Amino acid sequence: MKAEVARDKLLSNFEVLQHINDIKRRQKQHSASRYRSALKTENFETILLELHTYLGDKSHSPAAKQSVNDIKSFMKEISIYDLEKAEKLQIINIAPTSLVTLYCLVEEYDQRFTEDEGNHMLQLVQTYLHPAPPPSQPET
């Protein structure tokens, strides 16, 4: 499969959640039938609901707790490291809590960064991106 049009911008889960909330807000404000019928396509409501459930307040997604200011501050602080845009996006979306996860998100991590730099990145994630708590382990 060949991409015919390159992406102009990548969106974080937080931005997608904001967009979904804006759509829902507009739907409530403009409950007129012409607006609803223009937005309503097959499965549109289902897609909105499932995305909101996945990214929203009741999920364990970091996007539910993030804010524009937090992400801006994180991006400013993380800019000292030579990370690609896609790597930064992955870090924002996943909000890793361990070096192992960070290692999986950053290409050639072991060749580009030291363990101390990785720990500093994780500290920035903790400070600004509000990662979800790790799932509790079942007792055996």
Cα separation, 123 vs 126, in Å, equals 5
Three-state DSSP string of the chain = CCCCCCCCCCCCHHHHHHHHHHHHHHHHHCCCHHHHHHHCCCCHHHHHHHHHHHHCCCCCCHHHCCCHHHHHHHHHHHCCCCCCHHHHHHHHHHCCCCHHHHHHHCCCHHHHCCHHHHHHHHHHHHHHCCCCCCCCCCCC
Q: Is the pLDDT of residue 34 over 60?
A: no
* pTM, to two decimals: 0.76
Question: Which residue is listed with tokens 């829902």?
Answer: 24
Q: Is the pLDDT of residue 12 over 60?
A: yes
Q: What is the pLDDT of residues 83-107, one digit of tens each?
A: 999 999 999 999 999 999 999 999 9
pLDDT band of residue 47 (cuts 50, 70, 90) is: confident
Domains of the chain: 13-63 (no CATH), 65-128 (1.20.1250.40)
Nearest to 46 by CA among 38, 57, 54: 54
| Amino acid in position 84 | E
Q: Phi first, then psi: what are they for 48, rounded to 5°?
A: -60, -45
